[in-house]
Structure 1
């Protein structure tokens, strides 16, 4: 007979196991580029020949709620997401997966970025940050003589 006991809800058991693993390893990421589980806002990072592009997913916010700064090769996205306002005071919350509160994400940028060429815009719940690269870092063809 096995010493393991699984309750009626296998998904809750997986969730419990994940919490135990998180407690065991603390806040150490599994790789240099990974972040802790549930980090807000989630980001996608990509590059073109001329720019580095960061898209941070922050639905339910406004441009005024977000702050973007760049210093010493680090792009910082910070702000505060307000909890949803509820008119029903008697409501009991059983599960709440939507993040609310202050947040701060720091993204290390490559050395070839130009901090003077940064644009940020907030469209449809996405913060789109474009950071230009230095001209010397753009690829170019060299004629061999």
Structure 2
């Protein structure tokens, strides 16, 4: 299982700035997502990177699950 949890904050000005917001369509607050992964994922081969507002997650398969090439003679 892969669990991703975090919190989004608003980038609106504080209320002291006397700004009026009529519609806010962005979700703010805590979130949590749980994703089921296949059994052949290597737990030591997981890496994550957060860049430019996007979370990139890389998962590697175990060596036994990798396809093999067999040379034909």
Q: CA RMSD in A?
A: 2.1
Q: Does residue 108 in structure 1 map to residue 30 in structure 2?
A: no
- Alpha-carbon distance in structure 2 between the residues aligned to 1:93 and 1:118: 41
Unpaired stretches in structure 2, ≥5 consecutive residues = none
Tell me how far 1:93 sits from its aligned partner: 2.3
- Alpha-carbon distance in structure 2 between the residues aligned to 1:88 and 1:78: 28
Aligned to 1:121: 49
Aligned to 1:99: 27
| Pairing 1:1-145 to 2, within 5 Å after superposition | 74-89=1-16, 90-142=18-70
Runs ≥4 residues deviating over 2 A: 87-93, 141-145
Which structure features the higher share of strand residues? Answer: 1
Tell me how far 1:143 sits from its aligned partner: 5.5
Query: What is the TM-score with the length of structure 2 in the denominator?
Result: 0.80
Instruction: Tell which has more relative contact order, 1 or 2 (C-alpha 8 A, sep 6+).
Output: 2
- Alpha-carbon distance in structure 2 between the residues aligned to 1:87 and 1:106: 33
The secondary structure found in structure 2 opposite 1:133 is: coil
Query: What is the TM-score with the length of structure 1 in the denominator?
Result: 0.44
Tell me how far 1:91 sits from its aligned partner: 3.1
1:21-80 per-residue CA deviation (whole Å, 9 max, x = no partner) reads: xxxxxxxxxxxxxxxxxxxxxxxxxxxxxxxxxxxxxxxxxxxxxxxxxxxxx1111111
